[in-house]
Structure 1
Amino acid sequence: MANEVNFPPEVTFEYVFVNDGSGDDTLGALQWAQAQYPGRIRIVDLAGNVGSYNAIVAGMAYATGDCLAVITADLQDPPELMVKMYDHWRQGFKLVIGNRQDREETGLSQTMAKVFHWLMKNLALRNIPDGGFDFVFFDRQVATEVLKLHERNSNVFYLMVWLGFAYVNIPYTRRKRQIGKSRWTLSKKIKLLIDSLMAFSFVPIRAISVLGLGLGVVALLYGFYVIVLKIARPDEPAGWTTLMVVLLFVSAFQMIALGVIGEYVWRGLDAARKRPLYVVNKTYEEAPRR
């Protein structure tokens, strides 16, 4: 909270912490912090683990400020950048994005991040900044519009860009994690990629249509070839190998197509259920008495 001194003196703060069904003593640590700063901290304790993005939505629902900021707790993103973000908000920008222009991380993590954001920018939302982002500062109106969407299996940060508000992008270098180990596993990253592409892009279905049309043309030409071959050489035995290759190729395409269509159908079913994104166990508005 020492960084508050960099803001104008008339700015007041609230801190909303969402305990996303943690199995350790996170709630106890948050209650201790709340006791140290009475009236400043609100704790939203979720009944179970619903994932980081749904937890962010829960925090947005319980925040009361004129503007909000979302930043991860691992301090890889510079909190001091929020002062500059606030200045842009005062100038009228409803969305300010802290954009990861570069990373101190190396190896597979960096490569996967670059691939993910390249795919999203080229196949889904072309107006997102290069390098990706999850450090944002935004107006109350943006939060209200995101909450009204009730999106499931989506990417809350990309939803903010999708809304269409003009935004300003502030590049920075993402720091290397110094403390603890990230729980952002490979399976979660893959799920996020699939969810993001399915939520913002029709490219997978369009690709199936184009590929299916291309295969249809090839099959038609091959059919003409077989007919001509049969007329020219009536004694030519049927090619079992060719038949099996064609059969396996078409069957493989059908399985891929069913898998992609199944992803969309599952998301439609999940949305039709209208289950809540999160369930709040309890909120702690005031510091607990000791």
Structure 2
Amino acid sequence: MPKLSVIIPCYFNEDNIPITVPELIANEANFPAGLTFEYVFVDDGSRDNTLQALLRARAQYPDRVRVVELVGNVGSYNAIVAGMAHTTGDCMAVITADMQDPPELMVQMYDYWLKGFKLVIGNRQDREETGLTKKFAETFHWLMKHLALSNIPDGGFDFVFFDRQVRDDVVRMQERNSNVFYLMVWLGYAYVNIPYVRRKREVGKSRWTVQKKIKLFIDSLLSFSYFPIRAISVAGIGLGTIALLYGLYVIGLKIFEPQGPAGWTALMVVVLFVSAFQMIALGVIGEYVWRGMDAARNRPLYVVKSLYGADATPVVSR
């Protein structure tokens, strides 16, 4: 029978772990008998007692739970790649530590994997969250679908089930400043999409700040789309056309009305507008240049401080 590795990135999740681990263990009963499991928890530089909670879980389930402790916080997506690099399963899943995604959906995902699909996506058809959090998520994924990757499912996703071959591709690429889930779709494997309603977070406080959301949007857009550069080109052509027409107007005014108004106000407006556009264009180009430099430095995506349970033997479900 195959082995299933479940990757769970953790950041300030000390209150979630005592709930998450038993729920994952209980969910094993829904799978076919004989399937083996391992749960790879990645502590992404948490500064609370997340690591201690994970070690207690490992002491309780030493044959299932493995812990990867990173030196510092590198972001959830890099933490996921770290977890992927330390898995040993034939198939894998990524799920959040706060249990907003239903673990029982993995059973259906596993069935599709057995049918030959190397990537199965659980996409958020709706979410119990309200307010700005929901609106931002909807806007983010709508923009990504229409500006970058047209083949991603509606509603967004970060709950995936995939084959070891997909894992090997992602880990080998070592993509920086990117979106690991979009990267799986970008690889081109045919996938199955399973819609579900994402739960509201019941325990703990989300550390997914507005700054991190904005950075993720910029990283995702620049990694999978040339739209920003193309927009600069189109805007430049438009401004050039306007400047040409305005120049013809000024020349005509000078010829036919030598005593006409000097046009200082209009000139200042044009100068300020063009200057603002140039600064924005330089900023966009700078984002691309910085990402190229970051890739050229070839620094590691993460640094592992400690591994707990690297030699653990998987348990067989009954």
TM-score (norm 1): 0.97
Calculate the aligned-residue CA RMSD, in Å: 0.9
* Residue in 1 that maps onto 2:105: 81
* Residue in 1 that maps onto 2:243: 219
* Residue in 2 that maps onto 1:174: 198
1:117 aligns with 2:141: yes
Q: 1:236 aligns with which of 254, 260, 263?
A: 260
* Residue in 1 that maps onto 2:81: 57
State the 1:39 CA deviation: 2.1
* Residue in 2 that maps onto 1:277: 301
State the 1:237 CA deviation: 3.7
1:29 aligns with 2:46: no
Code of the aligned partner of 1:179: V
Give the match's secondary structure for 2:197: strand
Code of the aligned partner of 2:252: V
Aligned ranges for residues 112-261 of structure 1 at < 5 Å?
112-261=136-285
Deviates more, 1:61-70 or 1:34-43: 34-43
* Residue in 2 that maps onto 1:102: 126
* Residue in 1 that maps onto 2:95: 71
State the 1:235 CA deviation: 1.9
Deviates more, 1:33-42 or 1:164-173: 33-42
CA distance in structure 1 between the aligned counterparts of 2:39 and 2:261, rounded to whole angstroms = 78
Deviations 1:116-141 (A, max 9, x none): 00110000000000000000000000
CA distance in structure 1 between the aligned counterparts of 2:61 and 2:275, rounded to whole angstroms = 63
Deviates more, 1:216-225 or 1:65-74: 216-225
Give the match's secondary structure for 1:128: coil
Deviates more, 1:253-262 or 1:31-40: 31-40
* Residue in 1 that maps onto 2:12: none
Q: Give structure 1 stretches of 5+ with no counterpart.
A: none
CA distance in structure 1 between the aligned counterparts of 2:131 and 2:59, rounded to whole angstroms = 41
State the 1:198 CA deviation: 0.7
Deviations 1:49-87 (A, max 9, x none): 111110000000000000000000111110000000000
Deviates more, 1:222-231 or 1:103-112: 222-231
Code of the aligned partner of 2:57: A
Deviates more, 1:28-37 or 1:89-98: 28-37
What is the number of equivalent residue pairs in this alignment?
287
Give the match's secondary structure for 1:230: helix
CA distance in structure 1 between the aligned counterparts of 2:210 and 2:193, rounded to whole angstroms = 28
CA distance in structure 2 between the aligned counterparts of 1:242 and 1:31, rounded to whole angstroms = 68
Structure 1 segments, 4+ long, off by >3 Å, are none
Give the match's secondary structure for 1:215: helix
CA distance in structure 2 between the aligned counterparts of 1:155 and 1:90, rounded to whole angstroms = 26
CA distance in structure 1 between the aligned counterparts of 2:56 and 2:133, rounded to whole angstroms = 34
Q: Give structure 2 stretches of 5+ with no counterpart.
A: 1-24, 313-318
Q: 1:11 aligns with which of 35, 49, 69?
A: 35
Give the match's secondary structure for 1:44: strand
Identity across matched positions, percent: 76
Give the match's secondary structure for 1:171: strand
Deviations 1:248-278 (A, max 9, x none): 1111111111111111111111111111000
Code of the aligned partner of 2:153: P
Give the match's secondary structure for 2:201: coil
CA distance in structure 2 between the aligned counterparts of 1:28 and 1:231, rounded to whole angstroms = 81
